[in-house]
Structure 1
Amino acid sequence: MAGDTQDQAIAGLAEQRLGSDPATIRQAGWLNEAWGRLDRMIEGGRLPHGLLLHGRLGAPMTALLETLARRLICHAPDQGWPCGQCPACRQAEQGSFPDVQRLADDAEHRDIPVDAIRGLIDGAFLTRYGRMRLVLIERIERLNRASGNALLKLLEEPPDSMQFLCTVEQVDRLLPTIRSRLQRLRLREPRPEEQARWWQQTAGCDSERAEMLAFIDDPTLVDGNQPTFDWQAVTEAWVSLAEERGTPLAPLAPWLATPRPVLARWLLRLWPAVARRQAGLGEEALPGALEAPIARLAAAHTAEHWLAVQTRLIRFAREAGHPLHPELSIEQLALDLVDPRLPRRLDPAG
């Protein structure tokens, strides 16, 4: 049993494969600008040993991270891009390049455990295969205090030629001691039409699906060019709750069939669009398929209600990874969204 726990704790180190398709960067204008800055840093010998890529996380950001890593280990870069042909590029593509350690994000955005950092440290001082050892940490704000303190020691005294490449979306959640030892590169925020066009070009999907993928905008909610959950059923269940069609618990089947962390992130993705529509503020561009559900949700409640709903959604997101009472927590969420003033059954005082 202890062995299983340890395997799960360091599972983030298992995925070492690095893809690279320069076209995915060139076709994303907001990333192409960042790539130009990174290339100038590399050519000028000014790339810091700890780099923090700060911006919206998603498939384009992953493409940037992996292409940058490939560029650094490539033996014969082609006009600033990884060649794809040298031994290092071929090994990285196959996932067999030994000087890459990666702490990948997961679907539940779980904390990076201290055991994963200890495993990284254990491998940091082994004999290098190539000219550089790469450490990739995705969504580095997932570090907790214990794992952050463990990583801090390695950041302060890294082995020769060790390069840290990290991504972050919520930089305010990153431990200040870690943030101060990384040089941040802020990426421009992409426009919805840019993201939709990128999905069309890279995934070959139609404009309707591309608009939805751009709106979802979460790599853990998308597998390839398909959402990993039934967003239509999940959204319609919320509409049914808001419009009080039937009993509060009647439409919950789609929610019960969806992993709670996924459900939480999708409802929190919808909430700003609903709140803006209800308040009459400037609306973000919405996929056509979401126009009617968002309008119906906005019309169902007052602005005061929607402000209270956000608090309940955030609490649900924080509790979503807890293994206890999954059905009860979904039922509680439904009651919260119908009337946020109701006492919570899961609270000790409820």
Structure 2
Amino acid sequence: MKIDKNFIVFSIAFGMIFFSFSAVQLYFVVEFNKTSNVDVAFTSMLLIYLFAAIFSPVSAYIVSKFNPKKGIIMSGIVYLLFCGVLVTKNETVIYIVSALLGIASSILWTSCGTYILSITAQNYYGRALGIFNTVFSLMCILGMLSLGTLLSYYNFKISYLLILIPGIAGFFMLFLINDLKISKGLNFKEGLKNFFNPKFMLFLPLYVAQGFLFSLTIGIIPIEIKDIFSEIFVGIFGMLFYLIPLFSAYGVGKISDRIGRPALFITFYILIGVAMLIMLNKENFIFGIVVFAIAFSFTRVLLIAYVGDLCKGKNLETTNALFNTALNLGVVLGFLIFMFIEDKNLIYTISFFVTILSLLGFVAEKKFKS
């Protein structure tokens, strides 16, 4: 596979924005939990992913009209703005920017998936996404380490403002990538038809589960790690979800190109279900997190590539928007549960069933084929 220079620049620029954002997101709940404002953090996260879910269908039209590059640049501004306003700890401002970030997120990820799939040959989707996830993971790890170090020397405000610098640099790098026009304006009726394609609907639970599991990594798990160990371990365990893809993303992507994404999804989701059961016993909590981190990290490599498989390189905007909607709804579901259920073991039990039941789409597809 020949690696395009434009693809590398895009991956680095995108990763640098998340150098800042992923670090802020990881410590967000923990920092607000210190001052008994954890509900503000959970409400903020809920607003982000709720608005992302609501606006994901519209994002397909926006991306097709303005093209992915402009969509990513416009969204990047809001991501950096969110990181900056957190230092105010002003609830109203945080909630408003959280809603804006949700809208920006829907555009960003639809643009990202469309951009990568449009410049990559279909038989190399897995490998391309492997490279992208490797760079992305490296940037996120460096961001988390940097913010963790900054928080040990400086206060919350200074640390959060300093961590913005790499993100701003990444934002300006986005102007260097090629400007692609994917399609000539999406017809609304055609887009709606693609959005509700029955073939795609079978696999929506797979992506809802992915979003739900992601909410664990930025919601309940960081708090539980802090309570069981200490704040410094939040960054250490949080990095696992990015450290693993750093060394495995390309390999997993390459294997998925050869044997197919469904077999890997089934294997890794079963492992995630097992991890949820292990985490019910606090004596085995660390082992459970490690198993969860490995399996969950592997599935992240498959997400965008499988979208490309399902739509066979056509209607990229609407298909990416559909599955991003499902992902965001999963995160919303997760944070709603966190706000109303305090028993963490019950949350892990629910996570087990959400994960395993999401695999029924593969069973249904097999029955339809036969």
**Bucket of the pairwise TM-score, normalised by the shorter protein:** under 0.3
Tell me which protein shows more helix as a share of its residues. Answer: 2
User: If the length of structure 2 is used for normalisation, what is the TM-score?
Assistant: 0.24
Compare relative contact order (CA 8 Å, sep 6+) and give the higher one, 1 or 2: 2
Structure having the higher strand fraction is: 1
Q: Please give the TM-score of this superposition, normalised by the length of structure 1.
A: 0.25
